[in-house]
Amino acid sequence: MRYRPSILKDNHNISHTQPLKEFATLLGGILTFLALSYIILGLLVDLAVAHISVAMETELFNHTPFSFLTIDPDSFDPRQQKLQQLTDELRACLEMERQITVHLKNSDTVNAVALPGGHIVFFTGLLDTLDSENSLSFILGHELGHFKNRDHLRGLGRGLVLMTIASTMTGPNSVLTKLLTPTLQLSQANYSQNSETKADETGLNSLNCYYGHVGGATIFFESLASQQSDNKFRHYFGSHPQIRKRINAIRQQAEKNHYTVKKLTPLLFSENSLKNLYPPEADHPP
Amino acid sequence: MEFIIFICLLTTGYFFGSWAEKKHYKSIVEREQLYLYLPTTSSKKPLGKLAPVKESKLVTGSVVVSVDYFKRVLAGLRSFFGGNIASYETLVDRARREAILRMKESCPSATQLINLRIETSSIAKGAKQQIGSVEVLAYGTAIYCHKTKG
């Protein structure tokens, strides 16, 4: 037997592939898989949301520690009582049986959010920009609309699905999971434009039912539209896009239902009304 | 922020990894050419007719090679779908050839190298979040013959 030394010409022991091409293909495949799972599971969540009863929702979410709800009892704001009262009356108007609790949270954030478990968190930043009770009622009615249409569960559900997929595939502390977790941040609950429009409709109906007219419905949005560049309002724009479109949609809806506009009711706890509620003597003892 | 770090690691891994691999392959090919004169087989008996054997001894060559971050991520992605982990194939191939070369380098004046065996083991086996590296050990018997006249 002859021994013939030779040099390796074609290395058969390795695959001659382009690593970057392989990386792109694999990543594309995984992203497609994630996207498909997200869509399919998202649809399943939509189905599930329709079947989650109020009792079940309360059971599920009442133990969830929403940071918004840990309100310091010392900093109790007397305006909360008024908000709750208004919400209850609007709720009766909308024939909503479930109990909704309003929490007034001291924060510069110009926003109000509907949370699972029947909670509305109203930020003082938003309350301070309102100058009529009608505008306030419209926003409360809008949030009640989210409960009525069950958007508060839907928005949470999709975020949950995405995070669950990521944490199952890559582990709870992976980069991917951490990247996706912010979608669960409730203050930025992102509802689709369609759900916003529907919630606006509910808000408008509740306004008309309670006051007999829909004056004040768009005042808040108009002031927003004129202050779009203001950083303070960015929060509200994050989840409530295309303000102009919304104002027009609300107006069209009002016209369609032949709703009228009458004189606005002043906000009861504006400076003057607060004086009536809490006489100056109480604040400044003689 | 973590995403930026991840992208940086990936890019660094890719460029440095490719550069190191290219350089390593170049050196392997050059040295293989250089040691072509030394017959190396896995046979238990020497090839051909040998002059009287002066000496024979066990020679070894071992190497530890680590995979770069890009390849590790690529292999991780591959594990979702299955198939050849091409990014690890070059790693093991380089380690194997380098180990044999180091073994040959330890006995440049041998007449023949017989009974070549290769063993591999992975370092940090099973430990997560560690750089995957592989050790390859090549060993064989180096035979030294008396020089024949003519």
Residue B116 lies in a domain: yes
Where do we find the tokens 């997560």? B128
Question: Exposed, middle or buried by CB within 10 Å (0-12, 13-18, 19+), for A55?
Answer: exposed
Where do we find the tokens 């940086």? B8
List phi, psi (to 5°) of A113.
-130, 150
Instruction: In whole angstroms, give the CA distance from residue B42 to residue B140.
Output: 8
Work out the number of other CB atoms within 10 angstroms of the CB of residue A269: 21
pLDDT above 60: residue A67 = no
Structure tokens at A150: 């069950």
pLDDT at site A35: 86
pLDDT at site A278: 45
Q: Which helix (H) or strand (E) holds B131?
A: none
As for how many domains chain B has, the answer is 1
Provide the domain limits for residue A163: 30-63+77-283
Using pLDDT thresholds of 50, 70 and 90, give the confidence band for residue A274: very low
Residue A9 lies in a domain: no
Range in A115-129, A173-187, A262-276, B136-150 the model is least confident about: A173-187
pLDDT at site A180: 59
CB contact under 8 A, A15 and B86: yes
Residue B150 lies in a domain: no
pLDDT above 80: residue A271 = no
Which residues of chain A have a Cβ shorter than 8 Å from any chain B Cβ? 1, 3, 5-8, 11, 13-15, 17, 19-20, 22-23, 26-27, 29-30, 33, 169, 175, 178-179
> Tens of pLDDT along A125-172?
888 888 888 889 999 999 999 888 888 777 666 666 666 666 667 666
Instruction: In whole angstroms, give the CA distance from residue A192 to residue A181.
Output: 19
As for how many domains chain A has, the answer is 1
pLDDT above 80: residue B100 = yes
Residue A15 lies in a domain: no
More confident position, B126 or A135: A135
Distance from CA of A184 to the nearest CA of B (A): 18
Chain A residue with minimum CA distance to B85: A15
pLDDT above 50: residue A277 = no
pLDDT at site B145: 92
Instruction: In whole angstroms, give the CA distance from residue A116 to residue A123.
Output: 17
Looking at residue B148, the DSSP 8-state letter turns out to be: P
Residue B11 lies in a domain: yes
Range in A157-171, B29-43, B91-105, B114-128 the model is least confident about: A157-171
pLDDT at site A234: 53
Residue A131 lies in a domain: yes
More confident position, B136 or A6: B136
CB contact under 8 A, A26 and B74: yes
Using pLDDT thresholds of 50, 70 and 90, give the confidence band for residue A71: low
Residue B117's CATH number:
3.30.110.70
Residue A70 lies in a domain: no
B21 CB contacts (<8 Å, ≥6 apart)? B90, B94
Percent of chain A with pLDDT over 70: 67
pLDDT at site B129: 54
pLDDT at site B22: 93
pLDDT at site A140: 92
Distance from CA of B92 to the nearest CA of A (A): 9
Residue A275 lies in a domain: yes
Question: Exposed, middle or buried by CB within 10 Å (0-12, 13-18, 19+), for A58?
Answer: middle
CB contact under 8 A, A27 and B3: no
Provide the domain limits for residue B41: 2-145
Residue A200 lies in a domain: yes
pLDDT above 70: residue A18 = yes
DSSP strand E in B1-132: where? Answer: 53-66, 112-123
pLDDT above 60: residue A238 = no
DSSP strand E in A74-197: where? Answer: 101-105, 112-115, 119-123
pLDDT at site A279: 44
Which residue pairs from A176-180 have beta carbons closer than 8 angstroms and sit at least 24 positions apart in sequence? A178/B2, A179/B2, A179/B3
> Tens of pLDDT along B55-80?
999 999 999 988 888 888 888 888 88
pLDDT above 50: residue A280 = no
> Tens of pLDDT along B7-35?
898 899 899 999 999 999 999 999 999 99
pLDDT at site A76: 65
Using pLDDT thresholds of 50, 70 and 90, give the confidence band for residue B133: confident
